[in-house]
Amino acid sequence: MYGKATLSLVFALLIVLLLISYSILMGTVNFRSYFLPLLQSPATAHPLCATNPPLRVYMYDLPRRFNVGMLNLRNLEQTPVTDRNWPSWPKNSGLKRQHSAEYWMMGSLLYEGDGAEERDAVRVSDPEMADIFFVPFFSSLSFNTHGHVMTDPETEIDHQLQIDLVKFLLQSKYWQQSGGGDHVIPMTHPNAFRFLREQVNASIQIVVDFGRHPRTMSNISKDVVAPYVHIVDSFTDDDSTDPFESRTTLLFFRGRTSRKDEGIVRVKLAKILAAYDDVHYERSVATDENIKVVFSTNLRYAFILSPV
């Protein structure tokens, strides 16, 4: 029943997320300058995954505490979020940035400026017209903000937000109609929504992998796999006419080489890459200082891969 809408959503969201992950400026957000280039295309170009008509998305109007209120806990503003009062993503957010797809997805739906009508997914104000429903709960930011050590007393805040959200959804006429099967919930942190995930399992979840959940809960048949948002800014100041060719080393790898399940995939990757002279492979961890080092290497390497 929801196959066509799900497929359209996969295309539409991944276009946005891939473009965002390629180049994000984390300063003051100017919706016109940021989103307009993503929405425009040359007159002769054909959209890679255009939906005709565009996917119609209804976004629930949740209180700020479920989303942008977590960006600045000192700000007690409660007015509805629009593209005019949309807060910028914090500059010094560290690793939280890699899970910020939920922020950019909500922002793209709020955007109403020039070129908005050319998008593959558009927001509708009437839920009866919607192909799909977006739940703007920043579940990853909630985990990172409210007791990410998992033993902090603040963890209860994250738990309560999930309780309140599930209660809200279960009372929704549209959730009841589909059992949640046409609802989209971002969960890009592996521990996002960890308390009540089973209760929203029928929804389409935006994830980055399936490593910590059984196949019955999270799988590629219903969920959307999105890339992490870059935590290192793109380098745009090359003075060479062909900056790619001027870089002498093919790949720079700096990150964790062993993680879940003893890092089986990464161990195999290390063995493969070790055979090449033009690959720099180094074991490391993600810290603010190491992230700066990665950025400083941009001039020498054609590709940078630094998994945390």
Full residue range of the structural domain in which residue 63 is found: 55-225
What confidence score (pLDDT) does residue 2 get?
Answer: 44
Length of the chain: 308
27 in Cβ contact with 97 (< 8 Å): no
Question: Are residue 282 and residue 172 in the same domain, yes or no?
Answer: no
What confidence score (pLDDT) does residue 13 get?
Answer: 52
- Taking Cα atoms as reference points, which of 195, 191, 175 lies closest to residue 183? 175
Interatomic CA distance for residues 59 and 123, integer angstroms = 7
Question: Are residue 161 and residue 98 in the same domain, yes or no?
Answer: yes
Strand pairing class (183-186; 204-207) = parallel
Interatomic CA distance for residues 246 and 238, integer angstroms = 10
Question: Are residue 87 and residue 221 in the same domain, yes or no?
Answer: yes
- Total domains in the chain come to 2
In a domain, 18, yes or no: no
Tokens 């957010």, residue?
Answer: 93
What confidence score (pLDDT) does residue 203 get?
Answer: 96
**Sign of the dihedral defined by the CA atoms of residues 215, 219, 220, 226, in that order:** negative
Tokens 């990410």, residue?
Answer: 148
In a domain, 27, yes or no: no
In a domain, 39, yes or no: no
What confidence score (pLDDT) does residue 140 get?
Answer: 95
Question: Are residue 172 and residue 212 in the same domain, yes or no?
Answer: yes
Interatomic CA distance for residues 2 and 60, integer angstroms = 19
103 in Cβ contact with 89 (< 8 Å): yes
Question: Are residue 115 and residue 65 in the same domain, yes or no?
Answer: yes
Sequential pLDDT tens for the chain (308 residues) = 444 444 455 445 544 443 443 333 333 344 444 444 444 444 444 444 555 788 999 999 999 999 999 999 888 888 889 988 999 998 888 778 889 999 999 999 998 877 656 788 899 999 999 999 999 999 999 999 997 778 778 899 999 999 999 999 999 999 999 999 999 999 999 899 999 999 999 999 999 887 777 777 878 889 998 888 877 666 666 666 776 677 777 777 777 777 666 667 777 877 887 778 788 777 777 777 777 776 665 556 666 666 55
Question: Are residue 79 and residue 124 in the same domain, yes or no?
Answer: yes
Question: Are residue 187 and residue 279 in the same domain, yes or no?
Answer: no
Question: Are residue 81 and residue 184 in the same domain, yes or no?
Answer: yes
In a domain, 234, yes or no: no
Question: Are residue 147 and residue 266 in the same domain, yes or no?
Answer: no
